[in-house]
Amino acid sequence: MAEWHIEGDYMETCNCDFLCPCITSNLTAVPTEGDCKAAIAMKITKGEKDGVSLDGLSFIVLLHAPGAMADGNIKVGLIVDEKASDEQTAAIGDIATGAAGGPMEALGPLVGEVAGMEKRPIHFVSDGNRISVSAGDMVDQQIEVITSALPDGGPVRIENVPHPVSTSLALAKALNSRFNAFGIDWDDATGSRNGHFAPFAWSA
């Protein structure tokens, strides 16, 4: 298996109330709505696979679990930055699906359907305590950081969590989250739903 490495920034929203019970139960709890819909957005600041540079590209893994995530039968779909060449798209596809090893490979036994791949213009913007991601007409989500009241401030975090992106996640609330792709539909702007963000570094 060829070696590869990507690093950058991640954020996601899901349809669970804050704080998502999936993360705090090792994926065994039933999600707030009975099912889980989530958009995991990744902005690569630096990376390559098989000599193909992936610097500056983004992708989003959209997923739907019909019940507790640990029970499997998860549907996943991939949205890749439209700026990506065919070679870059293939490389990101291998990484995001776990075909090239790495963190996403561990989710393989839980995936029941790979719904496909689409390309859209992806915008990943960090502005103070807010992070927003959009992917054409398929994803539009924005989170606001939960800031600690401790003297040094910074985001509140949960550690040692079973999440493929990072074992340390910062907490946020979703100001809005809208998904419309691969048969996964969700639209909420109540400000009560769950969000996470973190730097990431993946390799295999």
- Is residue 186 within a helix (H) or strand (E), and if so which, with residue range? strand 184-188
Residues in Cβ contact with 86 at an 8 Å cutoff, skipping those fewer than 6 apart = none
Other beta carbons within 10 Å of 71: 13
pLDDT tens by residue, 54-70: 999 999 999 999 999 99
Q: How many CA atoms lie within 13 A of 111 on its CB side?
A: 19
DSSP string, 91-132: HHHHHHHTTT-SGGGGGGGGEEEEEEEEEE-EEEEEETTEEE
pLDDT at 170: 98
Q: What percent of the chain has pLDDT over 70?
A: 99
pLDDT tens by residue, 140-184: 999 999 999 999 999 999 999 999 999 999 999 999 999 999 999
Angstrom CA distances, 38 to 14, 61, 147, stand at 4, 8, 23
pLDDT above 80: residue 1: no
Residue 155 is classified by DSSP as: B
pLDDT above 60: residue 186: yes
Other beta carbons within 10 Å of 100: 21
pLDDT at 49: 97
pLDDT above 60: residue 87: yes
For residues 130 and 132, what is the distance between their CA atoms, to the nearest angstrom? 7
- At 106, the pLDDT band (50, 70, 90 cuts) reads confident
For residues 54 and 40, what is the distance between their CA atoms, to the nearest angstrom? 18
pLDDT tens by residue, 14-64: 999 999 999 889 999 999 999 999 999 999 999 999 999 999 999 999 999
pLDDT at 2: 58
